[in-house]
Structures are given as C-alpha cells and as structure tokens.
Structure 1
C-alpha cells in the first residue's frame, strides 16, 4: 500500500492538482483503502453465504437511515471479495481510492485503462444499500449492456438487483429496470425517460380529479400501466466518461418533439429552396460562418432569391420566410455532410453522434434543418417536430441528490464542472507507471499528402507485425483511408456507424499481431483493446490519429486505447492544413493559409504543431461559451415558465 500511495504520490498529486486539499483527501482515502485491505483476509475465509449475510445486514442498517460513510470499508471489502470470486478480478488499492472519491461526490480522473468500470462497482453498491436506486450512466448502449451484464454478476452475488436501459425498450421493461437497485443506461435514454414521464404527468393532470373520484368512490383501479412514470426518482448517479456527458453533450438540449404534419406546400418549399441554394455562389451570394455553421444571404443573393419567388412552391411564404428556407438549405448543403454528420438508412436520415461516432435513430435536428437535409438528399419530407418537452444535460443531472463520476480526461474542465454541477475533480494515481510513447505530430499541406503518409506508416508497422489502430473523425474519411489501404494490399478492418453490429468482434481482434483497424470515434471511450501474444515485444498497440478533434480531451481518449495498465504503446497524429480544425481561425485566414502552402508536402517546423494547438484551444473556448449561453438561455426560459405557473420542461 505505502509503495503506491506514500509521500511520492502525495507530492505528485499536490503538485498536479494545485494544492494541499487534493493531497489531504488522497491521504484520507489511502487510509480507507488500508482498512479495506486489513479486512480482506477475514472475508477470504468466509463462505459465499456469509458474505451475502454481511451484505444483507448492511442493507438493513442503510434502510433504517444509518449514514453510509461508516459502512464504506466493509462495503468496499465485500465488493472486492465478490469480484474476486465471480469475475476473477481484484480491485487495486488505487481503485479503492477512486471508489472513495466517487462516493464523496467527486469526478475521479483515472488514466485510460485503469479499470473505471470495476471502480464504479464500489460506490454503486454502497449507495444502492438504502434501496433508493443508483444510476450508472455510460456513453452508449453497447457499454451499458456490457457493464450491466459483466458487473451485474458482482451485485447479484451480494443480493442486489441490476437493470439496463436500452434503445427500443417499451415502458414495462424500462419501469422494471429502474425499479432495480442499480440501473445502467445512457444519458440520452435516462433524460428522455424523464421528459416522457413529465409529459405523462401533464397529460394525466387534466383528468386527475376524475381519476381520483373513480378510484375512491367507484372502486375502479389505478391509472393504466402506460400512464405511470417509468423512473422512480433521481437519488445517486455515477457518470462514466463524465467529461463527455457533462461537458461535450451539454451543448445540445434533450428535446422530445410532437409531430406536426407538413403540408404539400411546405414539402415543396424545402425542395424548391434546396434547388435555389444550389445555384448560389459563396461570398458573392451568401456568407458562411463555419464556427456557427450558419449561412446569410448577401444583397446579391437576396435579389437572386426574389427572382425565383414566383415559383409555385413559395406561394404561401413571405419574402423573409423564403430567405429563411434558402439559408436553411445552404446550411444543409455546406455544414451537414453525409457520412460525417448523418447516414442514410432505409431511406431515412439518421444522425451520427459527433463525439461517439454512433448512429442516433429517432433523433431529428430542429427548426426545419432535418427536413432541409431530406430535401438535399431527395428523400421523403417527413414530419417536422415541434417541441413538446426539453431539458438541458446540466438541468437533468442537477436533479440528482448526489452526483459523481469518473473519466480519464477531466482536469482541464475542472472549473466548469465545479461551477455548473458542484463536483470536484480528483486525480487518482495510476496502478503502474505509464509506458506510452507519444510522438510529435506530423503536419502536411494537403489531406492527400497526409493520407499517403499515414498509409506508408501503416505499411511500415504492419511489416513488423505490430497492431495499428487508426482514428478518423468521420465515416467518409474512414472509408477513404480504407480504400487507400486496400489499394496497397493491406488487410484491415473498418469500424464505423455503418457496421456497428460487429463492433465487439472487431475490437476483440484489434490488439492481435499485425492487425490493422480503421475506426471513427466509436473506438474511443470505453474500448478496451487487449494485446495479443508477443505484441508487447513489438512496442504494443500503435495508435495513429488522422485529424485533431475540437477538444484535446477527445484526442487523449483515442490515444488512451494504447499503453493500458502498464503495457507499452505508441501514439502519433498526422494532420494537414485542409483539416476542419484550421477553420477555427476563420474561413478567409484558413483559405489563405492553405493556398500559400499548397503542395509543400510535409511541414517540419515545430511551429506548425503549435498552430494546431492554438486552433484547438480556440474551439474549446468557443464551445465553453456556447455551453454557458445555452445554460443562461434555458435558465431564463425555465424561470419565465415557472413565473407563469407552467412546467419548466414542457413546451
């Protein structure tokens, strides 16, 4: 214990985290871990039945109102012993420290590969003892199902029930999952269930007096099953990949739409606006802001649009309304790209989550943008939604009485997490020293030159028998790189939203000798790539990033797929001046830069790497401003609705 959590680690954490408070908490948590260790030999001698009896006694104490803090040591020791017996894994001392931090309302920052999934079982079990429910939030359905099944063996061994929320489940299944002691699910599923429950309460409100009368005086039963909420409250929540969910996803509110059938004229207007937009010339007829993803017609553009205003499709629109349709069509054509922002599945536009690389069926862009994209793709114009209920990620998670989490990348946003959610970031020491080699970025003038260099590097590593994981930011780029590798005769696998069904199979093979895997962000958070025999001797898994993301944290998540748990690993990014991140400096400066250095090949000066670092920081600042603006807007909106006596999440 002292070798991992002694004075060296105290000094390191104090220096890293910026003060004695973190070092003091680490010291306190280390003492708790030592007490758990002292109890370990006692529990090892007990039978399974005796362990379950201990668990039962803890539940009884908790349900009688006793504080959970005095139970922490015994609860953690029970979970560790149960894990050893049912899944053959033992919590490391630093994992005990991480579990304590999460119990005490912190975001535990743990290096990728340090076993966050196992860490969560400690505070989840402890906080499930009172029987009020614990929600463990993951970034996608796949991880929710995996973790509920895998870690569920530990909970069930100790007498607790485990549920999992999945896309497509009906209300009875959801209600049963939420009734369990511990429930796994994604933020979106939990948030939308909350909104649907609020809508049910609102819709039932008008009949409340009639239902009460029928139940009390006519002997009729309670409300129908489908009218009952599925959630039973918001007690304690552990957010896995907390920075992704609480920070990145917080830029977009969760919205449930009520369908509004477009008229034939409206559908024709979307098609007509798309046709007009295709004839307009950038700069001359419209200005486009890549930061805001918005287009605005110039005087020349407005004149051109007015010349087409006699089109029968626009007969019901005002001139300003026509401008809005055309500007929306321009956004759809320029800012939202097929196989990057969305895919076409069975004739429908399906949004792709920019952070996870996964499809989000059933989700729609708002304010007619979804219909404009359908018009661009010449698909059927479907129902446009009007807002029936909405809540921001910030407001939803602040409803929990107790909120905590874990991630590998949170310190850079510690101030925002503390300000918005009142949670502190607690850095947790690694179990073993990291052996990751992060090589300097290579910068190229064009994307073609960059991809050629990436292919050459893959060929070089492939000859040595080293496994390679290549990260791309979109489906389109993953397929483009795949074509280059096929041309070069290199066998490889592609993991993106189009072939998500075989994700587990691809990930299982990605660490084997000589394997080459091209992937979108799907291979980022939560992906554990096991090294095959002899791979460590070849330098471990090699990760190649083909573009810098708008947040350094997401780049670090990709890199975190290698060098896990003390294994060796290498990481390097290949970037170009044609990458989207360069537009953080503005459309015109980016265009000038690209034109000036076109055809220069590799740009070797270290100054070029700093250009990309500055661009990334600019995007991070912009997103931080966007989140603050959204939060302020939603706060004002909620206060206004409350003052009017209305439910703040409805309408």
Structure 2
C-alpha cells in the first residue's frame, strides 16, 4: 500500500503539523474511507442521495465537516464509480483530505488532480454556501465541469461553469450552484464588476431600501445586481500558476476614456520617431524591467521634431513619454509571442497558458502604442475603475486550498502569503520518466535544426513526439522546418485553439508529431497505446527554458503519466530570452564569445542556463513582493480616506 503501515501511522500522527504527521493523519482517513466502501456497494442511487440530504442536515444543525468527512468521501468515490467509471485511488483520497485541511496538494502530473478535487468540493458544498473550483483557462474549466458534473448531480448537488462572454443572468445562475467551475480571471473580474454595481446601488446590492419596500420606487433590474455569493471555499487547480505566476499582474477593470484625434496622431508619430532612434546611442533598454529610457542625445533628436503637427498638444515631457512607450512596444512586445492581430484588433496572448485573452488591454497607453506599431485604429484608452491583486482576491475566501504538480519550490511563499501548506502526495505508481541532460547551442538556427533532426529520427521509429515552444512565432518556425523535411505534424497554438481537444487526443498515437506552445503545458492528458509504451512512451522536447522551472516540469509532465514510460529533453540556445536575465551587456558578451560555435557540450554552459533561470525566478519573486507592498499601501490610504480600496 502507498499509505504505509496503519499501526505506524497511528503513532506518527502524533508528530503534529509536520509533513509526516499530516501524512499519517490523512492516511488513516483514507483507510476509513476504504472500510466504508463495502457499506455503499449495494445501496441504490436514491439511497445515496438520501445520505447526501442527511449530511446536509447534520451540517445545518452544527456538526463539523470533519465529523462527516469519511462518509462524504466514500459517497463521492461510489458515485464516481457508477457515473464516470473511475474509482479514486488511495493516494487520491489522501490528496482530497489534504485539500480539505487547507493544503496545496502536490500530485505528480497525470495523477488525476481533477478527480481528487471532487471529494473536498462535495464535502464543503454541503454547507450550502458554494464552492469555487478555479483553473487556468476556459477550456479546462468547461472540460472539468462537464467531466465531473455527473458525480455531483448523481448525489443531488448542482454544478455550474463560468465562461468568458456569458451574460449576467447566466452567471448568477451558475454562481448559485453548489459547485462552480471557472478561471481565476473570470472569478476576479466578476468580483470587481460586483463592487462597481454595489457602488451604483448605494449599498451591498442585496438589501432593499425604504423607497423600494414601501413606495415601490427605485427597483433595480437583474443586470444591476451582483452575480457572486459569499466567498466561502476556493479549490485552486494548478495553484502555483494562479497563486504565484499570475500574481505579478493585478486584475483591472478599465473605464473608457475616448482619445482625441491629436492623441491618436501622437501615438502614430511617436512610433515613426522611435523607429529612427539607435539603441545605446539614443536610448537605453532594460530587458529585465522591459523599459526604455532616452539618453541626452535621444532627447535632443526628439526635441528636434517636437514642432511636428502630430505632437502639437504635447509638452516636452509628454513627448518623451510617448516615444519611450513606443520604443517599449517595438522592442519588448512582439507579434505572435505577446499578442496577435485578429480582425484589426490587438489580442493579448497569455504568457503562462499560451491562450488568447480577447477584451483585455495593457495599461498606461501601451496597448495604443502597439496598435500604432501595427498600423491599426487607435481604440479607447482605459482608466482604472476597479482593481484587485490575485493575492487580495483569494485571501477573501474563508477557506483556500488547491492542487498542482509543482508547488514545493514555492512552499515558503505560499505559506507566508496565503497561509496554506504544501503537502506532497505520493504517486499511485512509481514515475519512470527519463530525463536527458539539456543540449546547448550558440544560436537559435542551430538549435531548431537540431530539434528538427531529432524529431525526424524519432518519427522514423514511430515514436510520438510533443515539442513545446514559448511562442506562436517559434512554433510556426519549427513547423516550417518539419514541413520541409516531409514530417507530418500538428501545430497547437493560440491561432488554432478551436481544435485543441482533437489534437491533444491523438498526440500519444504512434508516429504523431505535435508542435505546441504553453497551451499543452497544463491540464492536457495525453493517452498512450500499448504499442507506444513499448517504444518508450511519449517523447517531450522543450525548445527553450522558461522563466520558471515549474513550467518546464509541467511540460515534461505530459509524458510518463500514471507509471507509463516517457522521455524528456530540453534544447536551449544562448540567443534565448532567458539569457537576458544576466542583463543586456553581459548577455551580448556571452553571445559574441560563443557565436557560431555549434553545440556547446560543456557542463558549464548548462549551469549558465540554470543560473539565468534562477535569477529570473528571484526577479519575479521581488516583483510580487513589490506589487503586494504597493497595493497594501494603496488600500490602506483609500480606507483612511473612507473609500472602497478596490474601486478607483
């Protein structure tokens, strides 16, 4: 048994809030759930629903959730067997107990996190206040809701799913369900919209005023009322991505601020002027902060054209700002990596998931600078109407927990900010993934040729291959090389996300080659056939190290799932963006020194890339700390002024 000896667990549970103590306590719960299982085998579906109603009544009468946990977990396991044909493994019950006890359960990729969440979600939904199951994108939210809903509905609970573009009436219905699936962004923006509605209603949006009750006046329409209920329980899937990676950017709702014709002309003029400036001589660019700053020579150049009609409405300092913003748009934000153009609009690509985010805009005029760069119509610039950080939003829940495949490296940060512990859950079967050392090349051309050669070689042996890239542009670049070599393959990126499920479902078949962005990095389950297992399983190639080792581990986790064989290797080059973590000049020095040297086999070069990755992780950690400090000061200042800290 993966749970260990029960007599030993009874002794070790006395170790208290240590990992060993928790493991033993949760293992004993899993054993009790196993013992309860035979009691439910011969019960009818109606009897199971009657048990659910009885549990709800107990909770309403004041019984603690811990006192009914074993029966609730056993009911979910039995319902899962009858509806979707899956039985929770012992280690999955262990993970469910950890999540209920406010932990982030770290389960290896492929261990069935979606199924694990059903047990604590059901148990906490018995309170009648709603449970939010949060994931990273709309596709996974809908998939998980559709997949797990039969388990809950079979026991008499209701399930909802929040998707981008749903009207308020539909959202309100889904939020009133016992269990609601959705993305962190949708939950967060709904919270902000509700705060704006409460401001307009002049109260909390639920209590009726004197005029409404006695005079029949001032009755508000349904669309004017908040959609969310209380923030009771959140179970966060891919918790490290949502609580750590996405926490560097606050959620902001903007109010329209119509640009004048002069402002639009200034954006186009600044873009043309920025294109004439020389790097180093006219401006300095900081790749770490992604900011450009004009030098004295650059300012003189800008002043020389300051009389142009495009800049008539700007002060000298304002002109500098416009030009520096244009430089930032040209250098730091690249088409088919950070954004795509669809129907004459700039659509942001999520850097963590590789998915499009329609309707979102960069702040402080950056979005308009990118529109000018792409020669698109300048749209409305937004001013902040409401904002909340990821940290502040999730700390509003009375209970926060979650699961992920990669959280132990950030356990201290999760504990300090969110007050949750990371609990490592053992795998159901030993993991037999083969990690091959990275291959380092001096240029991107050499790297992509080497990747194509390896893919061609494996394709001849009918081995399925998944190649992960960081951007749409790089996925299409590798696709062109494979097309020239006559290798049949599928490309999965934000441009063809509609066929994602179909591409992923076939990625584990013999001879399949799939080139994907980060879209294939989380939540995608690639099934293998027996013939493929004999060939060594799915072979994963990373074409670049990401800014966090956790994202690399997620990509590798598409292979060797549930005891299957698998293989993973990363190909990196000195022209990769990660090298700029050392700074612009040191990175340029390294690249010049090893230019056109082909493959760099020294262990020192692999360590160099790892050092750059660690430096980037430390920088992101500092960014999150600074954002938290700034938002805390801002909220405190607004409270002292008697204002809502979320609005404005």
> Which TM class, normalised by the smaller chain length?
over 0.9
**Does the residue aligned with 1:5 lie in a helix, a strand or coil?**
coil
Question: 1:190 — aligned with what?
Answer: 187
Q: Is the 8 A contact 1:9 1:429 kept in 2?
A: no
Deviation at 1:565, TM superposition (A): 0.2
Q: What CA deviation, in whole Å up to 9, does each residue of 1:239-271 have, x standing for no partner?
A: 000000000000000000000000000000000
1:233 corresponds to which of 223, 230, 246? 230
Question: 1:26 — aligned with what?
Answer: 23
Deviation at 1:47, TM superposition (A): 1.3
Deviation at 1:146, TM superposition (A): 0.6
Deviation at 1:4, TM superposition (A): 1.0
Question: 1:92 — aligned with what?
Answer: 89
In structure 1, what is the Cα distance between the partners aligned to 2:345 and 2:8?
Answer: 55
In structure 1, what is the Cα distance between the partners aligned to 2:262 and 2:216?
Answer: 51
**Does the residue aligned with 1:99 lie in a helix, a strand or coil?**
helix
2:467 corresponds to which of 467, 470, 478? 470
Deviation at 1:223, TM superposition (A): 2.2
In structure 2, what is the Cα distance between the partners aligned to 1:370 and 1:323?
Answer: 17
**Does the residue aligned with 2:531 lie in a helix, a strand or coil?**
coil
1:263 correspondence with 2:260: yes
Q: Which runs of 4+ in 1 moved over 4 A?
A: 7-11, 206-211
1:132 correspondence with 2:129: yes
Q: What CA deviation, in whole Å up to 9, does each residue of 1:93-123 have, x standing for no partner?
A: 0000000000000000000000000000000
Question: 2:626 — aligned with what?
Answer: 629
Deviation at 1:126, TM superposition (A): 0.1
1:404 correspondence with 2:404: no
Number of residue pairs aligned between Structure 1 and Structure 2: 644
Task: Describe the shift of the 1:71–1:572 C-alpha distance in structure 2 as closer, same or farther (beyond 3 A).
Answer: same
1:459 correspondence with 2:468: no
Residues 362-373 of structure 1: matches in 2 within 5 Å? Answer: 362-373=359-370
1:545 correspondence with 2:542: yes
Q: Is the 8 A contact 2:348 2:358 kept in 1?
A: yes
Computed over aligned residues only, the root mean square deviation of the Cα atoms, in angstroms, reads 1.8
Task: Describe the shift of the 1:318–1:19 C-alpha distance in structure 2 as closer, same or farther (beyond 3 A).
Answer: farther
In structure 2, what is the Cα distance between the partners aligned to 1:206 and 1:418?
Answer: 35
Question: 1:315 — aligned with what?
Answer: 312
Q: Is the 8 A contact 2:198 2:205 kept in 1?
A: no
Q: Is the 8 A contact 2:541 2:569 kept in 1?
A: yes
In structure 2, what is the Cα distance between the partners aligned to 1:617 and 1:9?
Answer: 42
Task: Describe the shift of the 1:562–1:194 C-alpha distance in structure 2 as closer, same or farther (beyond 3 A).
Answer: same
Q: What CA deviation, in whole Å up to 9, does each residue of 1:423-478 have, x standing for no partner?
A: 00000011000010010000001100000000000011101111000000000000
Deviation at 1:533, TM superposition (A): 3.8
Deviation at 1:213, TM superposition (A): 3.5
In structure 1, what is the Cα distance between the partners aligned to 2:319 and 2:8?
Answer: 64
Q: Is the 8 A contact 2:538 2:560 kept in 1?
A: yes
Q: Is the 8 A contact 2:198 2:204 kept in 1?
A: no
Q: What CA deviation, in whole Å up to 9, does each residue of 1:582-614 have, x standing for no partner?
A: 001111111111111111100001111110110
Task: Describe the shift of the 1:342–1:9 C-alpha distance in structure 2 as closer, same or farther (beyond 3 A).
Answer: farther
Task: Describe the shift of the 1:642–1:324 C-alpha distance in structure 2 as closer, same or farther (beyond 3 A).
Answer: same
In structure 1, what is the Cα distance between the partners aligned to 2:110 and 2:594?
Answer: 40
Deviation at 1:212, TM superposition (A): 2.1
Question: 1:504 — aligned with what?
Answer: 501
Residues 4-43 of structure 1: matches in 2 within 5 Å? Answer: 4-6=2-4, 21-43=18-40
Task: Describe the shift of the 1:161–1:20 C-alpha distance in structure 2 as closer, same or farther (beyond 3 A).
Answer: closer
Question: Could you tell which deviates more after superposition, 204-213 or 473-482?
Answer: 204-213
Q: Is the 8 A contact 1:513 1:533 kept in 2?
A: no
Deviation at 1:205, TM superposition (A): 1.2
Deviation at 1:208, TM superposition (A): 9.1
Q: Is the 8 A contact 2:254 2:385 kept in 1?
A: yes
Q: Is the 8 A contact 2:545 2:578 kept in 1?
A: yes
In structure 2, what is the Cα distance between the partners aligned to 1:9 and 1:260?
Answer: 67
In structure 2, what is the Cα distance between the partners aligned to 1:552 and 1:209?
Answer: 45
Q: Is the 8 A contact 1:137 1:238 kept in 2?
A: yes
Task: Describe the shift of the 1:19–1:628 C-alpha distance in structure 2 as closer, same or farther (beyond 3 A).
Answer: farther
**Does the residue aligned with 2:18 lie in a helix, a strand or coil?**
helix
In structure 2, what is the Cα distance between the partners aligned to 1:63 and 1:246?
Answer: 32
Q: What CA deviation, in whole Å up to 9, does each residue of 1:376-408 have, x standing for no partner?
A: 000000000000000000000000000000000
Question: 2:105 — aligned with what?
Answer: 108
In structure 2, what is the Cα distance between the partners aligned to 1:80 and 1:359?
Answer: 36
In structure 2, what is the Cα distance between the partners aligned to 1:501 and 1:459?
Answer: 27
**Does the residue aligned with 2:76 lie in a helix, a strand or coil?**
helix
Question: 2:521 — aligned with what?
Answer: 524
Q: Is the 8 A contact 1:295 1:327 kept in 2?
A: yes
1:328 correspondence with 2:325: yes
In structure 2, what is the Cα distance between the partners aligned to 1:9 and 1:323?
Answer: 72
Q: Is the 8 A contact 2:240 2:404 kept in 1?
A: yes
Q: What CA deviation, in whole Å up to 9, does each residue of 1:341-373 have, x standing for no partner?
A: 000000000000000000000000000000000
Deviation at 1:222, TM superposition (A): 4.2
1:554 correspondence with 2:551: yes
Question: 2:50 — aligned with what?
Answer: 53
**Does the residue aligned with 2:104 lie in a helix, a strand or coil?**
strand
Q: Is the 8 A contact 1:265 1:316 kept in 2?
A: yes
Question: Could you tell which deviates more after superposition, 373-382 or 587-596?
Answer: 587-596
What 5-or-longer segments of structure 1 have no aligned partner?
A: none
Deviation at 1:149, TM superposition (A): 0.8
Q: What CA deviation, in whole Å up to 9, does each residue of 1:7-55 have, x standing for no partner?
A: 69999xx9xxx99810111001100000000011111121111111111
Q: Is the 8 A contact 1:512 1:533 kept in 2?
A: no
Q: Is the 8 A contact 2:466 2:538 kept in 1?
A: yes
Residues 390-401 of structure 1: matches in 2 within 5 Å? Answer: 390-401=387-398
In structure 2, what is the Cα distance between the partners aligned to 1:219 and 1:146?
Answer: 44
**Does the residue aligned with 2:437 lie in a helix, a strand or coil?**
coil
